[in-house]
Amino acid sequence: MTFFIEVVLSGLMAGVMYSLVALGFVLIFKASGIFNFAQGVMALFAALTLVGLMEKFGFPIWLAIIGTIAVMIALAWLIERVMLRHLVNQEPIILFMATIGLAYVLEGMGDILWGSDVKVLDLGIPQGASDWMLDSFDIYIEKLEVFAAVTAAILVAFLAVFFQKTRIGRALRAVADDHQAALSVGISLHTIWVIVWSVAGIVALVAGIMWGSKSGVQFSLSLIALKALPVLILGGFTSVPGAIIGGMIIGVGEKVAEVYVGPFVGGAIENWFAYMLALVFLLFRPQGLFGEKIIERV
């Protein structure tokens, strides 16, 4: 039983990562209808910038984090200026292709600015097992993972308050609902896009920190974006809770399947489990678990 709980917990922790990347997708998709292919690369770029600021400029951790947030906001502003502004009213597929281009640009920029070697991200997050969990429940779990989960929870709570309670948050939801009506009351879409890409950039930074602390900052980080796709199919493209819960389900599902079913089929289930699950969902529940209810008025 303990072993099963350990498997589930470690799945949950991996799931948190998927959730964060999917969350970035959902935010941008809701506010602008853009499927942002570059979300994973944004996480990589943020982590690279963080490490770079610490290593090359000797910034202390807190200053490096603030600096990286500033860079992500500047990046959002630049993306709006150079890319989105000129593509308003274009077909979604054109915007999607633009974000593919953006992914390559960001990857290249990360390379040029910070180099392409694998970097160690050490934020002083304690390593090793959580003694408390081990002592009280006899469960082995990494401190880093607990830290990651708590951070993600705080981030999500913070975002929830931001969206529900602030004037800007309300405007973001208004744009997501009906961008024409939002324009009509004087909400500037340009401002909203900068804000939403900034938020997505900060979420990407948190994802980048977590993944980077665990496996080092390297290109494979941008590949977790591929795992976000099944998460989105599961949770629904426009649902924030869907992104979070979808990520956890896939994280847990693939770990459990790997450990308990893997031995019978020769392993490596973890690599394709998410896609299989997504396929099942596409067949039987294409709107996802939490796909937004379309309100139909009679």
- Which residues, listed in sequence order, are joined to residue 142 by a DSSP beta bridge? 129
The reply to whether 257 sits near other proteins by the rule CB under 8 A is no
Min CB(33)–other proteins separation in Å: 13
Selected range binding other proteins among 7-15, 70-78, 186-194, 254-262, rule: CB under 8 A: 186-194
Pair of tokens at residue 98: 């633009």
Return d(Cα 274, Cα 21) in angstroms, integer: 15
**Candidate residues 70, 161, 183, 226; the one interacting with other proteins per rule CB under 8 A:** 183
Residue of 44, 156, 57, 158 lying closest to 106 (CA atoms): 44
Rounded least distance, CB 184 to other proteins, Å = 5
Q: What's 88's DSSP letter?
A: T
Min CB(292)–other proteins separation in Å? 8
Stretch of 33-41, 106-114, 174-182, 198-206 lying at the interface with other proteins (CB under 8 A):
174-182
Which range of residues in 20-28, 95-103, 120-128, 169-177 is near other proteins by CB under 8 A?
169-177
Residue 222 DSSP code:
G
**Exposure class string for 23-46: b at 16+ Cβ within 10 A, else e:** bbbbbbbbbbebbbbbbbbbbbbb
Segment near other proteins (CB under 8 A); pick from 7-15, 34-42, 78-86, 178-186 = 178-186
Among 60, 112, 136, 184, binds other proteins (CB under 8 A): 184
Q: Is 181 in the site for other proteins (CB under 8 A)?
A: yes
CA dist 43 and 204 (Å) reads 4
| CA–CA distance, 281 with 257 (Å, rounded to integer) | 17
Is residue 43 within 8 A of residue 222, CB to CB? The reply is yes
Residues 119, 216 contacting (CB under 8 angstroms): yes
Residues 80-99 interacting with other proteins (rule: CB under 8 A): 88-89
Told to check if 161 binds other proteins by CB under 8 A, we report no
Q: Applying CB under 8 A, which of residues 174, 256, 276, 289 lies at the interface with other proteins?
A: 174
Contacts to other proteins by CB under 8 A: 88-89, 167, 170-171, 173-174, 176-188, 292, 295, 297
